[in-house]
A and B are shown apart, each in its own frame.
Chain A
Amino acid sequence: MSAAKRVQQWATFARSWHIFDCKWQDPYESAHVIKKYLMGMHKPIYHPMNDCGDVVVCINSREIALRGDEWRKRAYFHHTGYPGGASWTLAWELHNKDPTMIIKKAVYRAMTGNLQRRHTMQRLFIYPGENVPEDVLQNVTNQIRQIRYVPKRLDHIPEEEVKNYPKVMEYPEDFVVK
């Protein structure tokens, strides 16, 4: 193979590193998006036997948002293999123990249950906060967009912008907001 072709192949099959901010996101919805990047299904060169998956780094996994009552009601099952080793852990308990587990289980569940699954899961890095090791952060070159809109908190917007924001109507001074 000539040098030009070799280098072209190297570039086409290069493995990119993506970053995903899990703040206030539903883990099960985000899992579908993350699994696409991990398996390489976002690439036109995808083939299940191709090993073309990318690396995804998830940050702020402590900040994920489950829907409705799920924090209180969703239970994760685990069996040690020994008799009497079944255990049901509620979502909030699991999250307190290890903040990365919920999103990890969600991505694992979203993938097809074949022998490549465990190998592909090793390409996923989950960090509970903003603190990511330097060498991992240096590799990252792309960001995956969040699925749910994260609104900006009022006390995080600078004061002058709040003051200058156009108002539809002025509340009278003695108006009491219920």
Chain B
Amino acid sequence: MSANNLFLKSAFVRAPLKNGVGRYVCQLQRIVFKFCKSNGASRGMRDFIEQDLVDFSKDNPGVVVYLKPRRHRGPVIVGEYLNGDRLWMSVHNKTHEEIVKWVELFRTQQGNNWNSRLRKYQYTNHPSVQGPWTPFTFKDPELNTAELPDVRFGSNNRLPATATEQLRLMFEKQKLDELKTAE
């Protein structure tokens, strides 16, 4: 049951350079669209470039967009991120709508995450405000000075009161009431 013989490493959720704490920086640095001007496989890509590319660059001025028309080669999107990752993706025969969605994914990713699985969906440096548990947390301080084994700490104290004990308590209460009425 160990993880060191598995190829998929596990990682925790992290933001590069504490991204949201100060200002948010879009992690996509540049995106390269390589396509063919005439081949059918690049049709979706060409539609995207004609219709949605200008709006995309207007909305994301922080992303440098390069267009590379190449004859006789399949359409490809290459995204480069601020942490150095380079993501190559073939969009051969993909439709315009699909490419829009993939480009949106590229924009919102923070890099290459194919080789790590997320162990948890949260991360914090301060999991506890009251402090971590220690064996001393809920311990009775009387135990520090007691000579163990002691009847006070060893005997069963969860049984209900016996009949004798109940009668005794009733007797004590009666005595107290008599004293009060006498006063």
Contact A149 B156 (CB under 8 A): yes
Contact B156 A143 (CB under 8 A): no
By a CB distance below 8 angstroms, the chain A residues around B143 are 141-143
Q: Is A126 an interface residue (CB 8 A)?
A: no
Contact B153 A143 (CB under 8 A): yes
By a CB distance below 8 angstroms, the chain A residues around B134 are 8, 11-12, 14
CA of A172 to CA of B155, assembled, Å: 37
By a CB distance below 8 angstroms, the chain B residues around A148 are 156
By a CB distance below 8 angstroms, the chain A residues around B61 are none
For the complex formed, measure the closest distance between the CB of A170 and the CB atoms of chain B, giving whole angstroms: 14
B-facing residues in A119-168 (Cβ within 8 Å) = 137, 140-150, 165-166, 168
Q: Is B132 an interface residue (CB 8 A)?
A: yes
Using known A-B contacts A11-B134, A12-B132, A45-B133, determine if residue A168 contacts B167 with beta carbons closer than 8 Å: yes
Q: Is A44 an interface residue (CB 8 A)?
A: yes
Using known A-B contacts A8-B132, A45-B133, determine if residue A140 contacts B156 with beta carbons closer than 8 Å: no
Interface size classification for chain A: 20 to 34
Q: Is B148 an interface residue (CB 8 A)?
A: yes
B-facing residues in A10-42 (Cβ within 8 Å) = 11-12, 14, 16, 19-21
Using known A-B contacts A14-B134, A44-B133, A145-B156, determine if residue A166 contacts B168 with beta carbons closer than 8 Å: yes
| Interface residue ranges, B against A (CB under 8 Å) | 132-136, 139, 143-144, 148-150, 153-159, 167-168, 171
| Interface residue ranges, A against B (CB under 8 Å) | 8, 11-12, 14, 16, 19-21, 43-45, 59, 137, 140-150, 165-166, 168
CA of A143 to CA of B136, assembled, Å: 14
Chain B interface main SS type: loop
CA of A8 to CA of B130, assembled, Å: 13
For the complex formed, measure the closest distance between the CB of A101 and the CB atoms of chain B, giving whole angstroms: 22
Closest chain B residue, CB of each to CB of A14 = B135
Contact A19 B148 (CB under 8 A): yes
By a CB distance below 8 angstroms, the chain A residues around B158 are 145
For the complex formed, measure the closest distance between the CB of B158 and the CB atoms of chain A, giving whole angstroms: 8
Contact A11 B136 (CB under 8 A): yes
CA of A83 to CA of B20, assembled, Å: 73
For the complex formed, measure the closest distance between the CB of A111 and the CB atoms of chain B, giving whole angstroms: 20
What are 30 sample pairs from A and B whose C-beta atoms fall under 8 A apart? A8-B134, A11-B135, A12-B134, A14-B135, A19-B148, A19-B154, A43-B133, A45-B133, A141-B144, A142-B139, A142-B153, A143-B143, A143-B148, A143-B153, A143-B154, A144-B154, A145-B154, A145-B155, A145-B156, A145-B157, A145-B158, A146-B154, A147-B156, A148-B156, A149-B156, A150-B155, A150-B156, A165-B168, A166-B167, A166-B168
CA of A118 to CA of B158, assembled, Å: 32
By a CB distance below 8 angstroms, the chain B residues around A144 are 154
By a CB distance below 8 angstroms, the chain B residues around A141 are 143-144, 148
For the complex formed, measure the closest distance between the CB of A152 and the CB atoms of chain B, giving whole angstroms: 9
CA of A165 to CA of B164, assembled, Å: 10
